Amino acid sequence: MAQILAPSIQWQVGVTKNSFYARPITAKFLDSLLLNQKGKVSARGSSKFRVSAIKSENSTINRLENLLNLDVTPYTDKIIAEYIWIGGSGIDLRSKSKTISKPVQHPSELTKWNYDGSSTGQAPGEDSEVILYPQSIFRDPFRGGNNILVICDSYTPAGEPIPTNKRHRAANIFSNQKVIDEVPWYGIEQEYTLLQPNVKWPLGWPVGGYPGPQGPYYCGAGADKSFGRDISDAHYKACLYAGINISGTNGEVMPGQWEYQVGPSVGIEAGDHIWCSRYILERITEQAGVVLSLDPKPIEGDWNGAGCHTNFSTKSMREDGGFEVIKKAILNLSLRHKEHISAYGEGNERRLTGKHETANINTFSWGVANRGCSVRVGRETEKQGKGYLEDRRPASNMDPYVVTSLLAETTILWEPTLEAEALAAQKLALNV
Ligand code: ADP
Ligand code: MN
Ligand code: MN
Ligand code: MN
């Protein structure tokens, strides 16, 4: 535990110097500063000690980088697989590394593994073993080569999914023939907030104070409007490299907040890809010395919260006449509003206030092009008479396995009573 909270000082110092918010200080840069101030000869003399100190620090980093980037393929077939799983809070990600005898193409080629569940809040100390089942693999953008990231889910030694394993139930829903036939697509908009380490205050914000009000930051550019772009960009490329179906990124309304979209992805893949993209983001922010927050409302008051809008369509919604199917899905969603809200993330009540482009948590609403609704239908979908819906309720810390499978369950598998349906249709002005 102590190791997680207090990374080695040496490493932090080295990385901070090279990270995006501090100007990298090189020996050359220092030299040029001193030359300008004092003239050639005296500058070289007086700066000798400082320059060589910085030089040796930099070369330590370079030597580490050389080793980290070593190409081992001429010498061994072995690869490293990073087994990743969801920890006891249901939102924290854990991982450990395993040597595999040769490159693999499919998770079925990987063996199960185990971890100490008593250290992640997932098992009692006297029977601590939790078993990892490899489910989905990605290229590892950190190690490169044939090395891989492996998204796993967790089981007891007897083969029962443990409570934080939401993938198991989701996979069951997505293997239902009715759901398979509807080829459910998901486009997930993952919002997140970057925090300064130690103070846990958003990146770019004055410590102990606030930036100017929201307005200039959304999709903004400039040192006074955009904070953490290198992290967002590094993450974008890393996801593409890994094979994640990332479809875009944007700076958010609250300064220090960002979004990326993943999808459209089919079925269980949507959850696997979001979890892997979150893991990569945790690793990149770790390298940059910035703290990642998926809290749905990181700053109280007149600041936007962070959500995970889930865009959803079925085959019949995407075909001619699809708008009618979308309306019927909205009707079903309205009748199961409470179930959905309780599955859409911890602390979402702080975010779904009815302000800041959200609908109030207690009421279900829908509308075309309306960002103050629980569910929004795009103008294009209305115009074409087919397309998709956007569920705006999920919080940034939602479990995508839960949200995607619940959407499929409520709109494809579940049927309300005729009376309930008639009442809801009247209430929502939906003629289906
Ligand atoms: P917003 O306008 O709400 O900010 P974004 O452009 O951020 O929307 O995200 C929309 C997401 O919806 C993208 O990930 C996109 O791939 C996805 N999407 C597009 N068409 C569909 C569809 N038919 N079904 C599900 N998702 C879709
Ligand atoms: Mn968006
Ligand atoms: Mn957004
Ligand atoms: Mn959206």
Give CA separation, 120 vs 165, 214, 271, 330, 420, in Å: 13, 38, 21, 38, 43
Which protein residues have a CB closer than 5 Å to ligand 2 (ion)? 189
- Domain chopping of the chain, boundaries: 27-163, 174-431
Q: Whose CA is nearest to atom 18 of ligand 1?
A: 187
253 alpha carbon, closest ligand: 3
Ligand 3 centroid to 12 CA: how many Å?
31
Residue 189 Cβ < 6 Å to ligand 1: yes
Which protein residues have a CB closer than 5 Å to ligand 3 (ion)? 259
User: Rounded to an integer, what is the distance from CA 9 to the centroid of its chain?
Assistant: 27
| Structure token digits, residue 354 | 């009815």
Nearest by Cα to 236 from 141, 359, 370, 367: 141
Nearest by Cα to 98 from 118, 119, 76, 113: 113
3.30.590.10, 3.90.1150.10, 3.40.50.720, 3.40.190.10: CATH of 174-431: 3.30.590.10
Q: Whose CA is nearest to atom 14 of ligand 1?
A: 187
Residue ranges in the chain modelled with pLDDT below 70: 1-58, 431-432
Instruction: Measure CA of the first residue to CA of the last residue in the chain; give whole Å.
Output: 55
Instruction: Give the pLDDT of residue 431.
Output: 63
Instruction: Give the pLDDT of residue 128.
Output: 85
191 alpha carbon, closest ligand: 3
Which pTM was predicted?
0.87
Instruction: Give the pLDDT of residue 355.
Output: 92
Give the mutation target among 311, 316, 325, 412 for probing the ligand 1 site: most ligand atoms within 8 A of CB: 311
Distance, CA of 348 to CA of 339 (rounded, Å): 14
What is the architecture of the domain spanning 27-163?
A: Roll (3.10)
Q: Are strands 375-377 and 366-368 parallel, antiparallel or unpaired?
A: parallel
Ligand 1 centroid to 394 CA: how many Å?
15
Instruction: Give the pLDDT of residue 116.
Output: 87
φ, ψ for residue 338, nearest 5 deg: -60, -45
Instruction: Give the pLDDT of residue 354.
Output: 93
